[in-house]
Amino acid sequence: MFDASAELYDLIYHAFKDYAAETRAVATLLRERHPACGTVLDAGCGTGEHAQRLATEHGFLVDGFDVNPAFVELAAAKHPAGRFTQADMRDFRLPQRYDAIVCLFSSIGYVRTIEGLRQALASFRAHLADGGIAVVEPWFEPGAMRDGYEMTHTAETADLRVIRRSRTEIVDRLSRLHFTYTVETADGVRTFREVHELGLFTTEDMRESFTLAGLTADYDASGLTGRGLYVARAGS
Domains and CATH numbers, the chain: 16-141+202-234 (3.40.50.150), 150-199 (2.20.130.10)
CA angle 107, 88, 192 (to 5 degrees): 65
Instruction: Specify the DSSP element, H or E, that contains 114.
Output: helix 114-126
User: What is the structure's pLDDT at 236?
Assistant: 62
Distances in whole angstroms, Cα of residue 229 to Cα of each of 45, 101, 135, 138, 218: 17, 13, 7, 6, 8
Is residue 112 within 8 A of residue 195, CB to CB? The reply is no
User: What is the structure's pLDDT at 150?
Assistant: 98
User: What is the structure's pLDDT at 219?
Assistant: 98
Please give the chain's pLDDT, 236 residues, in tens: 778 899 999 999 999 999 999 999 999 999 999 999 999 999 999 999 999 999 999 999 999 999 999 999 999 999 999 999 999 999 999 999 999 999 999 999 999 999 999 999 999 999 999 999 999 999 999 999 999 999 999 999 999 999 999 999 999 999 999 999 999 999 999 999 999 999 999 999 999 999 999 999 999 999 999 999 999 999 76
Distances in whole angstroms, Cα of residue 146 to Cα of each of 19, 32, 177, 205: 26, 36, 11, 20
Question: Rounded distance, CA 167 to CA 152, Å?
Answer: 9
CA nearest neighbour of 231 among 109, 128, 144:
128
User: What is the structure's pLDDT at 2?
Assistant: 78
User: What is the structure's pLDDT at 235?
Assistant: 76
